[in-house]
Structure 1
């Protein structure tokens, strides 16, 4: 039979199916869980069900607006009914999804600060440390310092605590953010090292955190950059495997992955005549989906491609990337780009 606890079971099943990359099945089960919460007026289960579904399949399929609204709703109801643990986890999930969707880093920094103060007040140290890792990443993109250990003592202390306490999820997120920052600032060897360390963390996890395809996307970009830099065949093989995975995501209707796949394909394209058209499609779809951060990255990669081929349009695309990084709030990256352009 069906009872109030059934909605929680369905929510957790939805989350499990999502981690197994069964996105459409996960979405169907998740919607059943939400419908059951509404039908039974089971508000005491709403925070955990919303957290399971909207940080899982819904974030892949239903889009940013609905995902973020519902995660906030889960946080609010959790605080109202005293389910502080799921409320604070919903707050962190809201923040990480906001980062994945490319929301303004300025807004995100303010919100992270507010939620982290609540997490400390209610002694919710797990989401507090996860939020702290995100906040360091935001600051590294906005104004610095870099996340790399030698430049950021506080970040180094957080990583040390994660390793000493065998806090695998925290270690995962730290290496995830370090890899992204290293890639964005052109530190490809460091980025590849962060990917390897993150993968070591993943081996200790019961399920892989997919991050709406963002982890695989940056892994692919990093591997392509390393293949170009070292001519080592292993990086090309890794990049090809990532493209296959991204194709699977895109075929499953995950709207945030089409432009990611196109950018990876453009970076791998051997025919220079075809490559620019693929870059432009990736940029256009990222813009349509309002993913300003990945539109910026695609524009910068297109500019790099044009520069390598002696095309005067490179300056136009660098300028576009610069403006998009500023729009995202990545002031430090925008300054870095200006300094790196060879003209």
Structure 2
């Protein structure tokens, strides 16, 4: 963090020219979102795009505006607007020859479309923006960085649609995507959804692999919170609620579910608040049925 902040001070006090977009992109895309509220990331990332386009650094501009969109998704911005913006930026990046950025936009664009119900199969990233089979084939070839990115979006999709067995099995199958996407905000969203799916399956089946996986991701997310990430407190509470429900500690589960909902809503993570409310509702229904 200290190096990132020092780099920002330098470009603010000197004529940074062509490197300004790159510095803003790297510091805000891969470092500062781990230690600052997401809302504080948006203007600098938008500036990275604007400055990069003005100076001809379309690569940094593309990554800056892509991560702006990604963090906006994490921060529960309205899905229809995100899908619209992603479609525009995807085409722009393609026209500029920035194929990788265009490809990443397509994946997030399709994720938004699926979550809005605009896909024939809600669990397949296939529709207006992309074809999952085609992208999976590309990811197994030269586009090695596309693989973890595509898998992370599948895990996020499974979690939002309650396909917890598919999500948990995929989490166990692909292993630690954080090593393949160091610093990316996708790592955070993916880990949270992994934890949710694995906790659910641990409670449903009591199988060791799900229990061990759930504990691993809960430990990791709690470590991120302890290290200063202000954007995941509600996720720690939600996963602690799921784990307490698995352990039959009903009072602790209720307290954590309620805290997760309140913290998520007050912090602006409306989508996560809705998900936590859904999980709490299912917990209460199960509690009534077990009486």
Shared fold per TM-score greater than 0.5: yes
Structure 1: gaps spanning 5 or more residues = 1-26, 312-343
Is this contact kept in 1: 2:49–2:62, CA < 8 A?
Answer: yes
Alpha-carbon displacement from aligned partner over 1:288-334 (angstroms, at most 9, x marks no partner)? 110011111110111011101118xxxxxxxxxxxxxxxxxxxxxxx
Q: Give the Cα separation in 2 of the matches to 1:237 and 1:86.
A: 39
Q: Shift in Å at residue 272 of structure 1?
A: 0.9
Q: Give the Cα separation in 2 of the matches to 1:104 and 1:68.
A: 15
Cross-structure match for 1:186: 162
Q: Give the Cα separation in 2 of the matches to 1:71 and 1:184.
A: 26
Query: Which of these residues, 27, 30, 37, is aligned with residue 56 of structure 1?
Result: 30
Q: How does 1:58-73 map to 2 (within 5 A)?
A: 58-73=32-47
Cross-structure match for 1:159: 136
When residues 209 and 60 of structure 1 are mapped into structure 2, their CA distance, relative to the original with a 3 A threshold, is closer
Q: Give the Cα separation in 2 of the matches to 1:94 and 1:30.
A: 18
Query: Which of these residues, 123, 132, 137, is aligned with residue 97 of structure 2?
Result: 123
**2:275 maps to 1:297:** yes
Q: Give the Cα separation in 1 of the matches to 2:99 and 2:36.
A: 30
Q: Give the Cα separation in 2 of the matches to 1:209 and 1:234.
A: 26
What RMSD in Å do the two structures reach over aligned CA positions? 2.1
Q: Give the Cα separation in 1 of the matches to 2:103 and 2:126.
A: 20
Q: Give the Cα separation in 1 of the matches to 2:75 and 2:126.
A: 27
When residues 71 and 282 of structure 1 are mapped into structure 2, their CA distance, relative to the original with a 3 A threshold, is same
Is this contact kept in 2: 1:263–1:278, CA < 8 A?
Answer: yes
The alignment's TM-score, normalised by the length of structure 1, stands at: 0.77
| Structure 2 residue matching 1:144: 3-state secondary structure | coil
Q: Give the Cα separation in 2 of the matches to 1:37 and 1:129.
A: 30
> Max radius of gyration: which structure?
1
When residues 254 and 126 of structure 1 are mapped into structure 2, their CA distance, relative to the original with a 3 A threshold, is same
Q: Shift in Å at residue 239 of structure 1?
A: 1.0
**2:207 maps to 1:232:** yes
Q: Shift in Å at residue 147 of structure 1?
A: 5.7
Cross-structure match for 2:146: 170
| Structure 1 residue matching 2:218: 3-state secondary structure | helix
Number of equivalenced pairs: 283
Q: Give the Cα separation in 1 of the matches to 2:285 and 2:71.
A: 34
The alignment's TM-score, normalised by the length of structure 2, stands at: 0.90
Alpha-carbon displacement from aligned partner over 1:87-106 (angstroms, at most 9, x marks no partner)? 11111111111111111111
Structure 2: gaps spanning 5 or more residues = none
Query: Which of these residues, 40, 52, 58, is aligned with residue 78 of structure 1?
Result: 52
When residues 151 and 73 of structure 1 are mapped into structure 2, their CA distance, relative to the original with a 3 A threshold, is closer
Is this contact kept in 1: 2:148–2:181, CA < 8 A?
Answer: no
